[in-house]
A and B are shown apart, each in its own frame.
Chain A
């Protein structure tokens, strides 16, 4: 009797029967079937945006990242030469068979229809590594049909670069479908004669310090937006809704003005003969010879970008502060805290999700900002994105631009990961 009771009250937990619906289908499958329609509808609603993001966002980014390592030019143009170079030890000038192979490669290329010729891209590619290489290639390729053996002399006569081991080392090193050389360049490094990666001469280092400056400027801008935005958000959050909405329009006003117009307005205000300098000179605060340099330098970038990005800090802060009831501060005061302690220990910690959201937003936007530094940054206020743009539009070294862009992307992701580890991204509140 007692045994039967025991089994009744405590059935073995492992022997749970599979649940089925009234007609015998497993419950899980029935549930899936019931939910499928809803899932399909949801998918259909999301599909247009998903497709848009895939085509115009994910795909270009993947393309860009691919470009930073893609290296087909030498492999396409000089297959025989690369084969002949395999035995070369990298010292001195290669032997005659290599030059013969080069001759054969170039001759074959000249026979191809113009669109498919690989010599042009080859010159451009080699020029990234060695500045005279492009003219060497193009001049030589014109004369190649007239060359006669021994080809080593013919080539070195046509252009002196063929007599330099450096060019051959580059051809051998970059004669692979994938390359790290864009990243090597983006990190201010180069290959030495033995093929080791070493730092560039000090006067040729650009990108690392530019990355550092971009980081520092972005941090400064983030801090400035916080320092200016926090009091505004606090003020707005404690106003009656009517007035708060009205003043919020003032905060959002910059969004409704063209970026170019706003930036130009800063030029009018800040330049040497600008409104502020004129005013300071006229009231005698500074002399005419000591006009302040407030634009075309870092100061200009920080001022203009702080102005532009301020709403991105104010909005999340405001939305978080709105939800903090006044009773918390009151409770703190009733418990004996001075107004400052109540603010510091009770109010401020509750605004941290807003500060985090605003900070991450402003920082990530500003680290990739382009137009404002380009217009008001001058030389010292330039950021990494301006350098990327220069390589895309002017020097046409897309591989290097892609490498810089990828590094920027990875850097932002790493910083975001760090933020997530330290603060927790789920505490972000964007409004």
Chain B
């Protein structure tokens, strides 16, 4: 489980624990290493400890136990203003009594930078987020998206090597959010800065990050690149949390290397890929992504496993069809098929046969 015991990352959490009340741990034994220039996202439901981790890294919370290292240097006792970490806050935290220019000037002034240097850097930072014409506006005169850009520019203007972002796009509408996702990743890569990004939005995490750490219950459940996270979830929490997921409960009958045989609660027996199941007789939750389920026999491979299903609902979504099925007792089994000329549009009540490749069917711990 420990993603990285090594202490050679740019940001390292080494056995960090955090408790607010002395009775419960909000963060339980966190080990994490972020490489230089990496874009790491901490993803998890609210209360999973991700924001606490970010606040400990920024210096606003102290670790109850363990050590946090920045560029090889322990920073547990370094106050926040000496850490030199840029931060973008959830509600931007632009100083309302200062203009945009003064907001950007602030981090440079407290560093004692001269006026002409300051102005140069402010203009460069504003141009970077395409807000060059707004230096004399007050934050209240800007739209949400513009404020977001200014907050980003302010966190970058003093050229920190590490930038933290705490759900920075949460207050924006969908379209703007998608646009900003792209801009933030572009900026982070262009400037080569290390970014630790906190979000509860899995799309954001998948599209932006080099690596995603999925948090739950104060622990990192899985730390992997987005594609691995999606296609090979390590446990049923990750499988459920990332993307859409069908689950079937059952018992392990046999494990043979890369495959195992599962007897579902409905009596059907299927093949699956054992991921974190250990012994015969154990209860398991089998996970299958909806887009890996197919009802068209021509499209199924030779080794596909087939099973009977009853169509409960058919939803036309344009590019895809969503068919809700009853499979092995589960009434919420979703099949997602691409809108192609040869694709069948099922009607509720149809009895059909569906199938999937055993390799796409992952036997995970019982949720």
Contact = CB atoms under 8 A, between A and B. Distances in A.
A327 B81 contact: no
Contact of B111 (A330, A336, A346): A336
Given A332-B95, A335-B154, A350-B96, 17 more contacts: A327-B90, A328-B95, A330-B93, A331-B89, A333-B59, A333-B81, A334-B80, A334-B81, A334-B86, A336-B81, A336-B110, A336-B158, A337-B81, A337-B110, A338-B110, A341-B110, A346-B106
Contacts of A328: 93, 95
User: Which of the listed residues A328, A330, A335, A346 has the most CB atoms from chain B within 10 Å of its own CB?
Assistant: A335
B110 A335 contact: yes
A331 B87 contact: yes
29 contacts: A325-B91, A325-B93, A328-B95, A330-B58, A330-B60, A330-B80, A331-B89, A331-B93, A331-B95, A333-B80, A334-B59, A334-B80, A334-B85, A334-B87, A335-B106, A335-B110, A335-B154, A336-B82, A336-B111, A336-B158, A337-B81, A337-B106, A337-B110, A338-B81, A339-B79, A342-B81, A346-B95, A349-B97, A350-B96
Nearest to A341: B110
Interface string A324-360: 0101101111111111011001100110000000000
A346 B106 CA distance: 10
B107 interface: yes
B84 A336 contact: yes
A346 B95 CA distance: 7
Contact of B106 (A330, A339, A345): A345
Interface in B41-95: 58-60, 79-87, 89-91, 93, 95
A330 B83 CA distance: 13
Contacts of A338: 81, 110
A338 B85 CA distance: 14
Interface of A: 325, 327-328, 330-339, 341-342, 345-346, 349-350
Interface of A is mostly: helix
Nearest to A348: B97
A228 to B, nearest CB: 25
Contacts of B96: 350
B68 to A, nearest CB: 15
Report, as a range, how many residues of chain B touch the other chain: 20 to 34
B250 to A, nearest CB: 48
A339 B82 CA distance: 11
Contacts of A349: 97
Contacts of A334: 58-59, 80-81, 83, 85-87, 155, 164
B234 to A, nearest CB: 33
Contacts of B89: 327, 330-331
Contact of B91 (A327, A335, A341, A350): A327
A104 B216 CA distance: 107
A330 B86 CA distance: 11
Contacts of A341: 110
A327 B93 contact: yes
Contacts of A336: 81-82, 84, 107, 110-111, 158
A266 B236 CA distance: 70
B157 to A, nearest CB: 9
A327 B168 CA distance: 13
B93 A350 contact: no
Nearest to B154: A335
Please list the 10 inter-chain residue pairs (A to B) with the smallest Cβ-Cβ separation, ordered nearest first: A335-B107, A331-B93, A334-B87, A327-B93, A333-B80, A333-B81, A337-B110, A349-B97, A336-B110, A327-B89
Contacts of B59: 333-334
A325 B154 CA distance: 18
Contacts of B79: 333, 339
A342 B59 CA distance: 15
